[in-house]
Amino acid sequence: MNATKEVELLENSQVKLKVRIPTEDVRKQYDDILREYTQKAHLKGFRPGKVPADVIVRKLGPALMDQTRSEVLEKSLSEIFESVEQKPIPYATPEIKADEALELGKDYAFEVIYDTWPSIELGPYQGLEIDQPQWDITDEDIGRELKGIQEQNALFADREGGDVQTGNIVNLDYVELEAGSERPETRREAFVFEVGTGYNVYKIDDEVIGMKAGETKTITKIFPEDFETKALAGKTVNLRITLNSIKEKKLPEINDELARDISEKFATIADLRADIAKKLEEAVKQRIRSQTVSRILDSVVETSRIPLPSSLVDYQLENMWHEYVSQMRIEEKKLVEILEAQGTTMESLRKDWLPAAEKRARLQLVVSEIAKRENIAIEEQELEAEISRMADARKVTPAELKESLTRNNLVDYMKSNLRIDKLYDFLLSKTTLRAGEKRKVLDILQGN
């Protein structure tokens, strides 16, 4: 189409296009649609493909004009977005303003407003100086990991005739009471947790200590104003608890037998300790690398001028919501119901997440801009090498893995991740890494 356009740059990386479609193009699109109907329409009294155009116009007049308008908009915008310098961000739908009705014999004018990739003034990203913590893997670190392995391999036996003690695994039912009546929406059955961990909404660890299997009791909990669950903060709740069963944990000894039970590659506990030390070293190095890259990028973000399109922030908020749903391992609809029962909504969550989403969006733009300026790209041989490495780890052939990645549309995703890693390597190579203070391995891994 021979559309003419005027480009106006707005604030926050928005673009307004004033578009005019000449009358000849409008007429051609209308005639093409009308011709298609005359060729395919089936009307009583006419042979297929022989329906006169004027009959089609009488029957479908307004619908023909609506379809013409729709196709004129679609085709003209497709061509304009292909040619315009300010490309639209794909995460948002452009806003079309077309006040005038489309008429044959007249030009068709409309406006479209959309978000575009912003022009970024990058701060320094080379020559930065970053301190990295010093560390040593100690017996305490290995002992902590061994304790975790011991817990993972624990056995659980019914605690017959006894009462609940700290460390026991309890199975119970609970429900809130209001004026002596149950609140059905708060009922939970066969809820299981380890007493002393605090892994329960109402924090009833202390209250269940001393209870026996089959016992029911009502407790009153007074929650502080700053309680972690907003729906309970500042409230007094009456809760009826029924204890179904008690199990106690039996921990295996940390010895050669435990090592052999974990894997046949371990003959002794010394072999297991060596493997733990190796994996801890890899984890600490990866964590320090990640922290260093984050500090570099945070510095670049702070010193850069980054106009932030609202659609990019919305895209990050949407990603954060899907990550949250995945993390909670609950169907999205059910999760929304649970949140509402706790006095929380998706809207309030999005508001709480907004600063983090804006930071994500800025980081995304900075990473993209640096990669573009430094021509960071993944060559085919680099992709093939990574596929071979992954295939070897998964005990399949590179061809089998590549076929699987292609079938599941994951090749581009993989290339994107490789490109980001390559960019991070570039940033680290251009940064002066200084020896910082010595820190504990656990603090490094926990990001403290």
> What is the 3-class SS of 212-260, one letter each residue?
ECCCEEEEEEECCCCCCCCCCCCCEEEEEEEEEEEEEEECCCCCHHHHH
Q: What phi, psi does 173 have (nearest 5°)? A: -110, 145
Distance CA 341, CA 334 (A): 11
More confident residue, 344 or 170: 170
CATH number of 4-115: 3.30.70.1050
Per-residue pLDDT tens digits for 158-180: 887 789 999 999 999 999 999 88
Q: Where are the domains of the chain?
A: 4-115, 155-250
Please give the share of the chain, as a percent, with pLDDT higher than 90.
Answer: 71
Among the four given CATH numbers 1.10.3720.10, 3.40.1350.10, 1.10.260.40, 3.10.50.40, the one describing domain 155-250: 3.10.50.40
Task: Give me the half-sphere count of Cα atoms (radius 13 Å) on the Cβ side of residue 145.
Answer: 21
Per-residue pLDDT tens digits for 233-269: 899 999 999 999 999 989 999 999 999 999 999 999 9
Helix (H/G/I), strand (E/B), else coil: 377 = coil
Residue whose C-alpha is closest to residue 370's, from 82, 110, 92, 128:
128
Q: How confident is the model at residue 328 (pLDDT cuts 50, 70, 90)?
A: confident
Per-residue pLDDT tens digits for 64-93: 888 889 999 999 999 999 989 999 998 888
| Overall average pLDDT of the 42-69 stretch | 77
| Overall average pLDDT of the 325-336 stretch | 85
Looking at every residue in the chain, the average pLDDT score rounds to: 91
Q: How does strand 108-115 pair with strand 95-97?
A: antiparallel
More confident residue, 46 or 402: 402
Residue type, 105: G
Q: Which secondary structure element, helix H or strand E, spans residue 19, and what is its range? A: strand 14-21
More confident residue, 64 or 378: 378
pLDDT at 370 over 90: yes
Buried b (16+ CB within 10 A) or exposed e, 227-237: beeebbeeeeb
pLDDT at 384 over 80: yes
Quote the distance between the C-alpha of residue 211 and its chain's center.
42
Helix (H/G/I), strand (E/B), else coil: 399 = helix
Angle, CA of 341, 345 and 347, to the nearest 5°: 175
Lateral strand order in the sheet of 108-115: 4-9, 14-21, 108-115, 95-97
Angle, CA of 34, 36 and 37, to the nearest 5°: 65
More confident residue, 378 or 30: 378
Distance CA 289, CA 282 (A): 11
Distance CA 246, CA 169 (A): 6
Q: What phi, psi does 41 have (nearest 5°)? A: -65, 145
